Amino acid sequence: MFMDKIAKYECVEALKKNGSPIVIVSLVEESEAVLNACREAGIQVSAFCDNESRKTKRDFCGLKVFHTPALKKYLPEARFIIAHHNIKDCARQLHELGYNEIYSSLELLKNYNVTKYKHRVTQPYMASKILTSKATHDLYFDGSKTFLRSIDVMITTKCSMNCKNCCNLMQYYVDAKNTDEKIIEAVELLTENVDYIGEFRIIGGEPLMNKNWAEIINGITKKDSNRKILVYTNATISPKDEQLESFKNKNVNFYITDYGKLSKNADKMEEKLKHHNIGYMRKPADNWVDCSNVRQHNRSVSRLKQVFKECCAKKFYTLLNGKLYTCPFIANAANLKAIPDNKADYVDLFSEKQNLKNKIKRLINMENFFPACDFCDGRPNDPTTALEYAGEGLIKAAEQTSERLPYREYE
């Protein structure tokens, strides 16, 4: 049944046998659970691997982390378990590197008991991540379904910080505003026209800048209280108790990016989330890969394919003002009119109601590139090895500016 897939489903029996080293693919939160499940099943894992070279500097859960593109040098033969949600791209990359024994983590996570372990993230947060991971791997094997592992629902372009290199392009907005007029309607239209959405990520700017942020979340969960919500926040604004209280018995989690002193309410937010038993993850901002310029490159088709191939954000599906985009760069560049309007870059959920399902399918399954990619410097996992990247490389996160940055506006 799974013959046409590079990654295989049944891994436990095969991996228990002696053989080449076993590597878990990518350092996502679920990777820790995959490691626990392996140990429980008697599978000896040797290492992790990840496409971001900066993540390979430190061990993860006590094991070495290899840089995936350089794996062959260190492990000429290896067996792999993919923990990353984008199993298709991971499997393809490993296959291109010359590896053949590649497995999904689905079988391992099927009966994983989250409560049995203490993880690096809170228990509800891990439970939510595992649910999404299992669903996306399931859909990989199904093949016929349209699914979005996550959708970034942009509820405002206002931010409480002014990062010069914001990859969502907030630094260009002169007239930042909330986008909540038809958000719920757009979310429903989208869910009616795709088979599965793993997570609804509530983002901005800073989503808590929109005073209706909690109502919007409750609006999204109204139709289906099992919908998984992840609020991406910079922790500058403390949520009110009654707002958090309204998420009781719902699958709402927070992802706090900790910008040190700038995230002035991070401790308070963490305390409140604990108090209301809401899952969260708090992570330091780390360095960024610069990808915030909007400028035309006039790339050839093969160069455009390369920039798209190397892009780590091409499946960060984004909903902004009733339009579905496949990445936040295109969403905001189009919203700002910083790129020429091109219908090939998005699906307008409200005006393209005919054949909407097919139009969405075509957009999210794009394998080549979008016209807007020519205006992007590229967003590779690893800027040092990317072949088609025009940005500054790794930069300090969250450098603040007091100005709105200028850009060329198209008609």
Binding site for ligand SF4 (CB under 6 A): 159, 161, 163, 166, 168, 170, 204-206, 234, 307-308, 311, 313-314, 327, 329-330, 370, 372-373, 376, 378-379, 398
Smallest distance, Å, CB 358 to ligand SF4?
21
Pair of tokens at residue 389? 């990247």
Q: CB-based burial of residue 387 (10 Å sphere; 0-12 exposed, 13-18 middle, 19+ buried)?
A: exposed
- Of 5 and 315, CB closest to ligand SF4: 315
**CA–CA distance, 329 with 291 (Å, rounded to integer):** 9
Write the CA distances from 186 to 209, 216, 281, 322, 393, integer angstroms: 20, 12, 28, 5, 35
The least distance separating ligand SF4 from the CB of residue 222, rounded to whole angstroms, comes to: 26
Considering the complex, state which of residue 222 and residue 337 has its C-beta at the smaller distance from ligand SF4. 337
Distance CA 373, CA 310 (A): 12
Quick one: 112 or 317, whose CB is closer to ligand SF4? 317
CB of 305 to ligand SF4, least distance (A): 11
Q: Would you say 114 or 324 has its CB closer to ligand SF4?
A: 324
Integer Rg of the chain from CA: 21
CB of 103 to ligand SF4, least distance (A): 28
Instruction: CB nearer to ligand SF4: give 283 or 353.
Output: 283
* Both structure tokens of 288: 């960024």
CA 220 from chain centre, in angstroms, equals 19
For residue 98, whether the previous peptide bond is cis, meaning omega lies within 30 degrees of 0, is no
| Minimal distance, residue 339 CB to ligand SF4, in Å | 9
Name which of 69 and 371 has its Cβ closer to ligand SF4.
371
Distance CA(182)–CA(273), nearest Å, equals 28
CB of 378 to ligand SF4, least distance (A): 5
CB of 309 to ligand SF4, least distance (A): 9
Nearer to ligand SF4, 122 or 171 (CB): 171
**Strands of the 64-67 sheet, one edge to the other:** 64-67, 47-50, 22-25, 79-82, 102-104
- Strand segments (E) across 70-181: 79-82, 102-104, 147-154
C-alpha atoms less than 13 angstroms from C-alpha of 72 in its C-beta half-sphere = 9
Sign of CA dihedral 342, 347, 350, 355: positive
